[in-house]
Every structure is written in structure tokens, then in C-alpha cells.
Structure 1
Amino acid sequence: MTPDGPLAGYADLPAHLAGAPVVSFPDADRRRLAEILGVRAATATEVRVEREWTADGVRGRELSWSLGFGPRTRAFLLTPVEHNGVLPGLLALHCHGGIRSTGAEQLVETACAPHPSAAHLRAAYYAGRAVASDLARAGFAVLAHDAFSWGSRAFDLSAPSPKLAAQIDALEAFWREHGGMPSDEERFDAVSSLHEDHLAKALGVLGTTLAGMVAGDDLAAFELLASLPEVDDDRLGIAGLSGGGGRAALLGALDRRVAASVVACMMATSSSLVPGYLDAHSWLLHSPGLAAWRDWPAVAAMTDGRMLVQYGERDPLFPPAGMRAADAALATALGDRYTGRWFDDGHEWTAPMQDDAIGWLRGALG
């Protein structure tokens, strides 16, 4: 057996979880949500600026920080080159995408050639655009970070456990049989998809969930964003596509300071996903016990801020009836704080959808 099993690269995680209580909130609903997800408090410390650049009207800074466990987090802070005073702050949340070899870079033009996986995701899901950079050009201070188990926060899969190794052997046999081996990045992403089930099991044993660990990373990044001198902490928003949209829904439910959130292609009733659509989604959405406690739209409706949800009429990952029911439930729960928009698209953040989100955020945050 390998000593760290599915936690290789995070040997300090069990001790961290044992010593960090579940985040407590004054109100019962947020407290219960944090308990179901197993969200632990984490704080970004030892924050460093790794490099800076200026291009196309955007000042970029690559940051890194420690959360006290696992590898350091890589992030990008983007602001307009020219601005007067403080800016509304926005946390840009990358998608799941079945790709863990990169994280936040899929959203950012860094003045360097993009990581191959970031370039692939941008082309496949973001209409070839760097959403975070566009948001900075629109007048926001934007922070985009690698979430737990993605990019800089990925796990070490170089010495897999015997069970995972057997699955990798089967995968490699499939590749050989079908006449081609993937690139190093593609292989890592394929193995990471297999590893997610092993990771979810380990996290459950330790009293948390994948969504809870990601939410802890997101809360720490949101706290850092709010503390920045160029950010108006009364005008804070979050936005994401797919898994990033799910992260936005949870972060908006947990942190009362979220004034505006954009959830793109990540909304339907929980019952509409069971059982036929379970395999279409990861452990990031299907946290044990969550759907039994509260429907997914009802979780999203816990936000104290305004919410834009964008739906793809042809999204293959969500049943149309489930999306329509969620749209109606959110309209009832949030009233004029809710905007639901429908697009004749699939599971992607198209250019018109991104432009719509940017315009809505400018109106919501000023």
C-alpha cells in the first residue's frame, strides 16, 4: 500500500481537518449547510506576488498563498490599468470540466502562452475568451484562484494506490487498443477523473466533502479579495460556469457579503437529476446529504444578494423540465433579486452569455 493513498500531496490534510472545526454561522440554515458539506475555515497567509504584467488595458499579478495544508494556491489578480479609486470586486470561479491539470488560468490572459489544458477549456467552453480578463477591462478587480484539487492545488498521482493503479492500467490498455496515447496533461486529467471517486471516499471518512473543501478554498479567496486596498468590500460579486457556477451558488449561500452572483449552466432541481443525470455530474455537485436536506435551487436561494442564472436550452447535462422548475422556484424565492435568462445554447459560456453576465454585473455592483 502507498503511505498516503488517495491523499498523496496532502499528507497534512487529516491533521488539518482534525484541528479545524466546521465553520460556524449565526443563522441555522448556513450553519446546517456548512455541516453537511464539512466546510472548514482556512485563511490565505504568506501571500506573495510572483510576477506582474500589463497588456490590453489590464494590469495582471500572479499571486500565491498558503492555506496551512497542501500545496500553495496559485491565483491571478486583474484590474484595469486606469481607474479612479476603489473597484467592485469579483471572484471568478473556474469550471470542473473534467480537467484538473489547470485551474484559474482558463479564465485569464497572463501575457504568456497558456497551459495546453487552459487553452483547450477556453476554446471548448468559453468561446475562446478569457472571462476574467474581460471582466477586468469592464471595470472590476477580479481574483481567480486554483480550487482545492485543481492546478496548483492538485494531488500527486505519480504513485497511485493499488486500486487506482489497476484502473489506470485498464485505461492505458484502452488507449493502446484504440491506437494512441494521450499527452502528459491529458493523461493526468484522465487519471484525476478516476481519482475523484477515491478522494471523495477519503474526504467522507475525514468528515468533509469535495464541495466542502472547495468551498473552504473559495471562502479564503473571497476574504482575501475583500481585504484588498483596491476593492470596495461593499460591492463584491462572484461568477462561474458549470462547476464554477455551482461554486458560486454555494459561496453565495455561505457568505452574506456576496452582493451579486452569476451561475451559468449549473441549475436544475435536485430531483430532476436523480437517477438519470447522476453520472453527468461530479462529487462537486452531488454532496451526500445535501439534496435530502434542501433542493439545489433552494440552496442557491440562500444568498442575501442578487443572482443571475443563465440556462442553456440545449444543455445536455440538465433536463429542460428540471431547469424550468428551478427557474420558477428561484423567481418565487428571490423575487426581484433574481434574474433568469435563457439561451439557445448547450453546456458552454458563449460570447453573448458572457456579455450578458458582464452587463448584469455592472448594473448589480455599480
Structure 2
Amino acid sequence: MAANRRDFIKYSGLAGLGMFGGDFGMLLAHANHLEFPNDMQEPFQKNQLGLYGPWAKSLFLDELPKISFRRDTYTDLEAWKNAGVSLVKERMGYLGLDTKPKVNVLRSVVFEGLLCEEISYQLPYGNPTRALILKPENAKGKLPAVLGLHCHGGNKFLGLDKIAKLGNDIPDYVQEHHQTYYEGKAWANELAKLGYVVMVNDAFAFGSRRVMLEDVPEERRRGIVDFDMSNRKNIDAYNAWASDHEHIMARSLFSAGISWPAVYLAEDQVALDILADRADVDTGRIGCAGLSGGGLRTVMLGGLDPRISCAISVGFMTTWADFLLNKSHTHTWMTYIPLLPRELDFPEIFALRAPKPTMVLNDIEDNLFTLEEMKKTDRILSDIFKKADAADRYKCSFHPGPHKFDLAMQQEAFEWFDRWLKG
């Protein structure tokens, strides 16, 4: 019975491998050596793909990825980084927006000792992007700066307001978001108070950059309209609509020859351009950080843009195997880059910034990842930074509790920024 079961898994799985083209022969040969559970082996581990999980993982994820710096064949760090960055950009369909948008200052206010500028700028597509720039009111000269990357949180109606504010008169649903994920704080404001210029921009498909219902066919709107977003019920309805629409957005971007990561990376790089162009910013001391979807954006921006001197990913670090077997159902389409898992594991995207200061903050009870795979990424990143002679520039911490960026984690992150951007 066990042999029949193994043969069924092997050959039923291989029946659909025509999509791999020229790699089919290699995969068939590899499949002949697959080990599947039987009475004499370890018991089958349930996963979100069922019996297909072990087969899918065995194709590319049971060995070191092809261009992992952990391979003995790679000894030149800069050559590996250059190759890795080019490859990731190619796989995602990198946009590389070559644009210098005009920045419009919508208003300036002083709030809790901070000079707060609300700005907007027009990208080549979509509605104008809204952003906030915060810094100490009486600051002089050039300051270290941080691009604050807001989270996903299943809330596309909101963007930058998730981590920044211009005053205390904010809606209840924004306060709830601050409390749930940030222990009641708008962390971008708190970091700015420590002597930083902090910029927060709305990401692609969030806040000012969200898909407007008036711009999609009526049959796709579910009766929701843009102009009536003054109450919580309609905002919740929009977020439910946007959650389902994420599948359409991702498939449509793939159809255009690009991916979701390519778009938000390009837009975050334009925000970085704007931040770096400011007269009050020291371009040699720029960092980025974010929780969850913001942590994902940190991995991409910090790993692929050399202008980021210090990067902190919070609540977003695991392996491709974890996504494959356990957790892809808990994650946004913003995560995935076609074919890349063959060549780099997920944390190795972030490692492309080595030897620059890099921090990962995890939550032990985070239900978006498995603890075992979070710990594995720590070992992967530690090994790469050690091989890059930069062990002291990588740090990973595990904090108690669920998915969040609470005050204790904020303190650790801010101290890391102080060490590397102020030291």
C-alpha cells in the first residue's frame, strides 16, 4: 500500500510539470530519488497542500538555493550581491521609475514638538501619493533619516496613518490600529522625536494610492461607492472588497509582465529619492523600517537599494518553505516573486545588503509564521553576515506575544538606529 501511495504522489505530481519546459527532464530524474513517508520513515506532516506539499518542497527547497552566498562556491561578497540584486529585479519585473515628481506641500503643522509636513506628489500612474515628513521643530543642519514603511493589516483604506499622525484628533478606527499593532503609538512620530527626519508614504494600493471604486466596472463594486467613506461600516466594506480584489490585482500585474513587489519597490524608491533630496537629510545616514507588510517592504528596499544604510524588518521573516507548506494562506500577494525560490531563500533577499547594519524583530506567538522557520532564517542571516565579516552588524530578537511592533520592540529598533545612524 505504501509503495502504491508513493507512486501515485510521484507520477500524479509530475503529470503537470510541462510548465517547467526544459527543466522537466531534470525534475523527473530528481523525482526518482524523492522520499515519501511510509511505515518505516517519519510520519507524514500535515501541511496546507496535503500530499503535494513534500513533493513541491523537494523540487527546489531541500537544498541550498542556486546562488545562495552560503554555498562554498561564493566567496566574493560584492560580486554575489551584484548578481543577486540583478536577479531579484529580473524575477520581479523591476520597474525602476525614472521620475522626479514635483513635491507639493499641502500643510505644515507643529505637533508635540515636531514639524510635520503633509505632502503629495504625482507618479506616472494613479492618484497622487500622500506622504508625511516629520522632524524635531527646532532641529538644525543635516539629520539622519528613516523611511517609515506602513503595514498591510488587511486595511487598504488606510496607509501612512497607520504609523504617523498630525494631531490627536484621529478617528477611532485609526486609534484601534495603533493600539492593536503598536501599543497605542504612531511610531514614526516617536522616532522623529529622537532627532530623525522620518518620511512615511502611502504604498501602492493603500490610502491615497488605493484602487478607487469609481474607476472599476460597476459590476465589480458590490454597491460600494467612494464618496461615502465617512463611516466605519463603509470603510470595512471597502477593506473586504479590497481583500478580494488583491487576487485580481496580482493576476493582472502578472499579465502585464510585472509583479506586486516590483510596483511597491519602485514607489518606495521614489519616496526615498524625495527624502534623500531634502536639504535637512544626511544622505549617508538613511534607514528604513516597518512591521508586517512594512517589514516585507523593508526586506525589498533594504536588500535592493544601497542607499539604505540601516534596515529593520519587524514581523516579516521566514523561509519560502514556510510559505509553501504552512503560511501562504495568511499572506498578501505582495510577497511572491516568481521562480526566485530556486535561487535565493526569502531571507537572502534581505542579506543582499550585507555588510550594512540589519535587524530582524520577531514575535514568538506570531501566527503568520512558524517559530521553527523564523529561527531558521536567523541562522541563515547569521551565517551570511558572518561569512561577510559583519557578524556585529546583524541582530535578531524574539519578543513574546502575537504579531505586533510594541513599545519594547520599538525601543530596541530605535536603539539600533541610534547606534548605526547616529554613532
Determine if the TM-score, normalized by the shorter chain, exceeds 0.5.
Answer: yes
CA shift, 1:32, in A, is 1.4
**Corresponding residue number in structure 2 for 1:103:** 159
Where 2:335 maps in the other structure, the secondary structure is: coil
- Structure 1 residues 321 and 75: alpha-carbon distance in aligned structure 2, compared to 1, 3 A threshold: same
Which letter maps to 2:373? G
Q: Does 1:78 align with 2:134?
A: yes
- Structure 1 residues 288 and 260: alpha-carbon distance in aligned structure 2, compared to 1, 3 A threshold: same
Q: In the aligned structure 1, how far is the partner of 2:218 from the partner of 2:94?
A: 29
Q: Compare CA radii of gyration and give the structure with the larger one.
A: 2
CA shift, 1:138, in A, is 0.9
**Corresponding residue number in structure 1 for 2:357:** 306
Give the TM-score, by structure 1 length: 0.86
Which letter maps to 2:210? A
Which letter maps to 2:407? A
CA shift, 1:116, in A, is 5.0
**Corresponding residue number in structure 2 for 1:7:** none
Checking the alignment, whether the CA contact within 8 Å between 2:148 and 2:290 is kept in structure 1 is yes
Q: In the aligned structure 1, how far is the partner of 2:100 from the partner of 2:317?
A: 30
Q: Give 1:158-173 correspondences, 5 Å limit.
A: 158=214, 160-161=216-217, 164=220, 168=222
Checking the alignment, whether the CA contact within 8 Å between 1:44 and 1:66 is kept in structure 2 is no
Deviates more, 1:138-147 or 1:275-284: 275-284
Selected match of 1:137 from 193, 203, 211: 193
**Corresponding residue number in structure 1 for 2:39:** none
Q: Does 1:28 align with 2:83?
A: yes
CA shift, 1:317, in A, is 0.6
Q: In the aligned structure 2, how far is the partner of 1:351 from the partner of 1:256?
A: 29
Checking the alignment, whether the CA contact within 8 Å between 1:127 and 1:349 is kept in structure 2 is yes
Give the TM-score, by structure 2 length: 0.74
- Structure 1 residues 290 and 27: alpha-carbon distance in aligned structure 2, compared to 1, 3 A threshold: same
Deviates more, 1:284-293 or 1:102-111: 284-293
Q: Give 1:30-179 correspondences, 5 Å limit.
A: 30-42=85-97, 43-111=99-167, 113-158=169-214, 160-161=216-217, 164=220, 168=222
Show structure 2 runs of 5+ residues with no match: 1-80, 225-230, 386-390
Where 1:110 maps in the other structure, the secondary structure is: coil
Q: Does 1:264 align with 2:314?
A: yes
CA shift, 1:162, in A, is 7.8
Residues matched between the structures, number: 329
CA shift, 1:286, in A, is 2.2
CA shift, 1:119, in A, is 2.6
- Structure 1 residues 52 and 162: alpha-carbon distance in aligned structure 2, compared to 1, 3 A threshold: closer
1:133-184, Cα deviation, whole Å (9 max, x unpaired): 001001110000001110000112246558845xx58x9xxxxxxxxx9611
Selected match of 1:317 from 358, 368, 373: 368
CA shift, 1:197, in A, is 0.4
- Structure 1 residues 115 and 294: alpha-carbon distance in aligned structure 2, compared to 1, 3 A threshold: farther
- Structure 1 residues 289 and 120: alpha-carbon distance in aligned structure 2, compared to 1, 3 A threshold: farther
Where 1:276 maps in the other structure, the secondary structure is: helix
